[in-house]
Amino acid sequence: MSVVQVKNLQRRLDNLAREANDELDRVCGHDLWRSLGFDAFDGPDDAERRSRANYYYGQWQTVRELQEALG
């Protein structure tokens, strides 16, 4: 993979992480999910909100793992 491709991939991953961060803050109503993980998602009574939180948390974790692998 070329340097340009890696930089573009890192930029896209940063965008995905930022989107997931913003959505998780919005769904949870706070940023405690960063330290609590899935426990923070038990709070919303609305099943749709819990579902969105779980989706974006999975996206955030995947992005973090890919970023770590790329260095």
- The maximal CA–CA distance of the chain, rounded, in angstroms, is 46
Of 16, 19, 9, the C-alpha closest to 71 is 9
pLDDT digits (tens, 9 = 90+) for 32-67: 778 877 676 666 678 888 888 889 999 999 999 999
**What is the value of pTM for the model shown?**
0.81
Count of CB atoms within 10 A of residue 51's CB? 13
**Which tens digits make up the pLDDT trace of 7-19?**
999 999 999 999 9
